[in-house]
Structure 1
């Protein structure tokens, strides 16, 4: 059975890739949507290669069983260690139990450091009331908008809950450029409402509470005075995009 190991491992990895990219949207936990075709093609190729390797190994076994005393042919036998089968365990786990999207643990690992983007004016907000904004758009306007377009506006933000010191809590989103490996954090401190459990997804409606000088570290993280906090389901695409 050892000769089937590489083939089975290839099949499992290919099947796992197809499961998260072709038959679901779980791939959005790891990469941006534009990479889906590449994942599907890669998964299909791995499945085909794995299947071909299984067929080849089966034929070799059948040939040996038909003529076990044939000394005129040299048959290859795998020489790898027996514990190499353990390599199938991660692939099986990915196939059966895909890991969740990044959450509060990943957000906590990044310190509140912001590049000097420079203060400037932003386009006017839509006339909607409340106006739906991404957490990233809210933080950018709160910290860098010299026109203070958030002043007096009611906004609605959706994200997951993270906790800080002294009973503070934040509505948080992770921002990705390509995949989950390059994720950075945007968060807004919520005031005037009880904190839900960590990693709970919520929609918070409220108003911006100015603090600190624009463009300074004192303005980070921005504040939101909450009017309502509503628990919601985690979106299929949990990350914001640059």
Structure 2
């Protein structure tokens, strides 16, 4: 991959990060709000790196700092001449059977920015001596490729542009009803009662108690603190295979959408909104059979705008 291509890819990734974290709030679809400063810093760093790589590539193409071994002034290999007096490029004095009369190929290497021959490198002289003893011709020196020489890059490397382009052009929404339906209806086993009931504040009677989905699920395991209490939950609608109910769901993340955990409640008593509609549901706890999803007998379900932070 050429340097110019590398700088373009860095610029696209950095630009995508800045687009979702500086010019919009789309970053909240993928990570927790606290990661916004880190996304901004990373985006700026990648854009700066892309500019630096592009400038270095431009200087190389302009001829500044001509790479060693490519010929031209300063390499000593133009027009069949050598920077080392008395040495013809590719050969040194001292014939070997089977070699060109009066010369043998040079065993060359790069060291500290110089092109060294057997005359100046003891290791190379030893290799040449061993070749003479064995009666074989040493392999000629192959100069290294220029730093900006194009390399064969697997086509799969360009697939990195696909997710970047998706963020720049589409900005995928947060996880929704499709992800919930694909996860199935598995309900984890309840924690021990001594842990569930420890340090839990009682809910107020005669008023609406606003709870998160996690708080409601924790209390619903045994229901002692939910009996006769009105609660309000916020989430998005998910269809249910059972008649007369639908699910209110919300994702809970620890770091990003990749580690999302589904929190859902079965809602009964109100018509099902369209999938992925954000709603605020008010009702009372409806005892469910063991192993089932916690349920809520709803009095009201109000459509709302999607919250700035769609995850808990």
* Class of the TM-score when normalised by the shorter of the 2 chains: 0.7 to 0.9
The answer on whether the counterparts of 2:10 and 2:49 sit within 8 Å (CA) in structure 1 is: yes
Deviation at 1:115, TM superposition (A): 4.1
Q: Which runs of 5+ in 1 are unaligned?
A: 65-69
Does structure 1 residue 117 correspond to structure 2 residue 187?
A: no
Q: In the aligned structure 2, how far is the partner of 1:134 from the partner of 1:60?
A: 58
Relative to its length, the structure with more helix (as a share) is 1
Distance in structure 1 (CA, Å) of the matches to 2:286 and 2:36? 40
CA distance, structure 1, for counterparts of residue 222 and residue 24 of structure 2: 38
- Poorly superposed stretches of 4+, deviation over 6 Å: none
Deviations 1:131-156 (A, max 9, x none): 211122111111134xx222222211
Matched, 1:237 2:286: no
> Are the counterparts in 1 of residues 235 and 279 from structure 2 also a CA contact under 8 Å?
yes
Structure 2 unmatched ranges of 5 or more: 65-69, 76-145
Per the TM alignment, residue 3 of structure 1 is displaced from its structure 2 partner at its CA by: 4.1
Normalising by the residue count of structure 1, what TM-score does the alignment of the two structures yield?
A: 0.83
Asked whether the 8 Å contact 2:220–2:294 carries over to 1, the reply is yes
The answer as to 2:45 corresponding to 1:45 is: yes
Whole-Å separation in 2 of the counterparts to 1:17 and 1:224: 40
User: 1:1-242 maps to which residues of 2 (within 5 A)?
Assistant: 3-63=3-63, 71-72=71-72, 74=146, 76-81=148-153, 83=155, 85=158, 87-110=160-183, 111-119=185-193, 120-121=196-197, 122-126=200-204, 129-145=207-223, 148-167=224-243, 168-212=245-289, 216-217=290-291, 220-240=292-312
- Return the index of the structure with the highest Cα Rg: 2
Secondary structure of 2:62's aligned partner: helix
Post-superposition offset of 1:171: 0.5
Two-structure CA RMSD over aligned residues (Å): 2.4
**1:155–1:205 contact (8 Å) kept in structure 2:** yes
- Deviation string 1:157-212 (CA, Å, 9 cap, x unpaired) is 11001112133311001111222111111111111111111111111111111223
